[in-house]
């Protein structure tokens, strides 16, 4: 296939691009590098099947040649980024998504929407199934991300129903691995960086809130399984292993050799108290399940951050 990956120079998008090229697809990465980085795809510059287009997807654009699939991963995804760019986040979720839907429609291509577990908000149903409508504050301090993704889903299904556009919608649960930004504000990268720097690990709240962490290779495998299937979705792709923030801090402290301890800060507004995916649809209809446990994934991720921090210090 020839696949357009919007946001393909980001953390998840670059790993997806690697996987598509490895299996023989051609990839056109579209990215404006606001949160992604050319460094994430620099190793692909000489690959015959790779093309990089610098483009803001909220502005109209065209891609020359045939297109078989459009995969929309274009959005700020870390708390630091979407809090600094609330209007841009809402724009990419609305106008950007519509431009990409139109690109897919015009090319008679399949459209893949990367949504998020944040559409469930601070859930009253646990674990979260795809049929749960969520508990989201539409005007809260993190609503620019939650509601942008909820609108993206609504827009995607409107095109599916109105224009008969073939679509696939994935809901992503906390994903981690190499190429995450050092300062992106997500808990895994925060803890690893603080541990490697010998700083106390910062926990917001009392540390009892939970998350389910999926290693990036598992996540991308789930993306491809959904893309290649006849399942419309939405489909939860995440690791159902559930950990408190204190449990995560203990593992990272051990693996980084940190002895600086933990400090506690107030819990941010609307921060979900628990998060765990029900992956029944993914396992039964896609044949997908995560393979990398949290400790193993962290052991693969920490050397990446150590290298980046070493470069920064050097």
Strand partners, 53: 30
In the chain, what percentage of residues exceed pLDDT 70?
99
**CATH architecture group of domain 2-176+215-237:** 3-Layer(aba) Sandwich (3.40)
**CATH architecture group of domain 187-210+241-274+292-313:** Alpha-Beta Complex (3.90)
CA distances from 294 to 30, 200, 213, 305 (A): 31, 21, 7, 16
313 compared with 30, residue with greater pLDDT: 30
pLDDT digit string (tens) for 277-302? 999 999 999 999 999 999 999 999 99
- Token pair 């095109």 is found at 159
For residue 67, whether the previous peptide bond is cis, meaning omega lies within 30 degrees of 0, is no
Please state the pTM of the whole predicted model.
0.94
Average pLDDT over residues 133-152: 95
Instruction: Assess whether pLDDT exceeds 50 at residue 314.
Output: no
Query: Do 187-210+241-274+292-313 and 2-176+215-237 fall under one CATH topology?
Result: no
pLDDT digit string (tens) for 21-36? 999 999 999 999 999 9
Average pLDDT over residues 183-195: 92
> Is 145 assigned a catalytic role?
yes
Q: What is the mean pLDDT of the chain?
A: 95
List, in order, residues 6 or more apart from 228 with CB less than 8 Å away. none
CA distances from 126 to 219, 226, 240, 297 (A): 21, 23, 11, 24
pLDDT digit string (tens) for 210-256? 999 999 999 999 999 999 999 999 999 999 999 999 999 999 999 99
Average pLDDT over residues 38-60: 96
In the chain, what percentage of residues exceed pLDDT 90?
90
Distance CA(102)–CA(159), nearest Å, equals 9
Instruction: Assess whether pLDDT exceeds 50 at residue 313.
Output: no
Distance CA(238)–CA(112), nearest Å, equals 17
Average pLDDT over residues 13-20: 98
Instruction: Assess whether pLDDT exceeds 60 at residue 312.
Output: no
Distance CA(157)–CA(85), nearest Å, equals 26
Catalytic residue selected from 82, 145, 159, 215: 145
pLDDT digit string (tens) for 57-82? 999 999 999 999 999 999 998 888 99
Domain extents in the chain: 2-176+215-237, 187-210+241-274+292-313
């Amino acid at each position: 296939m020839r696949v357009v990956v919007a946001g393909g120079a980001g953390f998840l998008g670059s790993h997806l691009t690697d996987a598509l090229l490895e299996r023989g697809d051609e990839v056109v990465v579209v990215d404006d590098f606001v949160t992604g980085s050319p460094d994430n795809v620099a190793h692909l510059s000489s690959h015959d099947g790779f093309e990089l287009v610098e483009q803001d997807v909220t502005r109209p654009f065209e891609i020359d040649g045939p297109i078989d699939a459009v995969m929309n991963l274009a959005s700020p995804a870390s708390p630091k980024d979407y809090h600094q760019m609330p209007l841009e986040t809402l724009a990419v979720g609305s106008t950007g998504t519509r431009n990409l839907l139109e690109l897919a429609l015009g090319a008679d291509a399949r459209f893949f929407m990367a949504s998020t577990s944040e559409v469930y908000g601070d859930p009253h149903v646990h674990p979260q199934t795809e049929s749960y409508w969520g508990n989201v504050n539409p005007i809260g301090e993190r609503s620019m991300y939650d509601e942008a993704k909820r609108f993206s889903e609504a827009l995607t299904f409107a095109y599916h129903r109105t224009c008969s556009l073939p679509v696939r919608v994935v809901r992503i649960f906390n994903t981690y691995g190499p190429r995450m930004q050092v300062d992106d504000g997500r808990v895994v990268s925060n803890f690893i960086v603080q541990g490697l720097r010998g700083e106390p690990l910062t926990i917001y709240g009392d540390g009892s809130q939970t998350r389910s962490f999926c290693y990036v290779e598992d996540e991308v495998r789930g993306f491809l399984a959904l893309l290649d299937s006849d399942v419309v979705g939405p489909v939860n792709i995440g690791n159902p292993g559930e950990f408190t923030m204190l449990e995560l801090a203990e593992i990272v402290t051990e693996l980084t050799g940190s002895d600086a301890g933990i400090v506690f800060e107030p819990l941010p507004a609307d921060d979900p108290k628990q998060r765990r995916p029900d992956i029944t649809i993914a396992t039964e209809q896609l044949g997908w399940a995560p393979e990398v446990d949290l400790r193993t994934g962290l052991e693969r991720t920490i050397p990446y951050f150590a290298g980046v921090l070493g470069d920064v210090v050097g």
